[in-house]
Structure 1
């Protein structure tokens, strides 16, 4: 039986990562022989990390994934494939593997010293604040770049061009906004800046609302990876339902803004 453990290092003495989505390595370990393979994950982008890592875990036959914390959006695809997810884990990888083996052999009697529910301690709060600060600093250069890029766009893409794409018809504008947002997927912070420029150039709120929501959630470019990981039926259904929902969101947003 194989398990996947989010680790800070490449061997069994490494500590288990606090967060699955930001770990540098995934160790695929055979619990019988203790042989393991290392999946480097630190060089993956935040967008490609979930799909690529989950694909490799499924391909290598792991039946359980272990980490300190895992986002619900990652837990769902794993459990849907019949993979057990264990979170709230601390200690070294070797300790976790040993506890996991005892749990399986001794009627699931987990070792409380290794597998437990993480409390919100002062150290964890400090870790969360440091992580938030690093994330904010990583966004600032991207945001500055987008603002400069928008300045160039305003110089080359005039108001007439935008209005030729967005006619002012609520349904057409919602569809076009959702279409362009799905193709031009990007950072959520950047979408607010772009949305503001579109509104100032006379683009309707229907189009902007649809653009903003699909910009960060749909992503045509991710469709091949989603099909490989989650299956074609699920991926295409999610895409179609998302497009429909975001058109409804665009209408709802415009209606609410009119009330205020």
Structure 2
């Protein structure tokens, strides 16, 4: 099972971003072995950034996204695909994943 995390860094000790569209990295975490694929958010200042990030989440077949606030475009793409969203802003990625597992 893959979980996407909008993060300010590229590892488990990084903070979850307060805003999905402004994250520095999108981490794809394989929950079976905690391997991480990270995607640098190179489109921070382009209009299509939220759609591109949402498309990456779908491409990696993620079941959930951990993030802070999320704008309507990306929210709708993920909701339509059945991707669960969890609020985890300001937690470390590792702590947010632990909290998600408790709630899931």
Larger Rg: 1
Offset from partner CA, 1:98-135 (integer Å, 9 cap, x none): 1112223xxxxxxxxxxxxxxxxxxxxxxxxxxxxxxx
- Higher relative contact order by CA 8 Å / sep ≥ 6: 1 or 2? 2
2:26 partner SS: strand
Gaps of 5+ in 2: none
Aligned residues of 1:27 and 1:39 also touching (Cα < 8 A): yes
* Structure with more strand by fraction: 2
Shift of 1:90: 2.8
2:15 partner SS: coil
Q: CA RMSD in A?
A: 1.4
1:13-32 equivalences in 2 (<5 Å) = 13-32=13-32
Q: Using structure 1 for the length normalisation, give the TM-score.
A: 0.38
Gaps of 5+ in 1: 105-260
Aligned residues of 2:88 and 2:96 also touching (Cα < 8 A): no
Q: 1:38 to 1:88 in 2, by over 3 A?
A: closer
Aligned residues of 1:70 and 1:87 also touching (Cα < 8 A): no
Q: Using structure 2 for the length normalisation, give the TM-score.
A: 0.90
Distance in 2, matches of 1:11 and 1:56, equals: 18
Offset from partner CA, 1:218-239 (integer Å, 9 cap, x none): xxxxxxxxxxxxxxxxxxxxxx
Determine the structure 2 residue equivalent to 1:38. Answer: 38
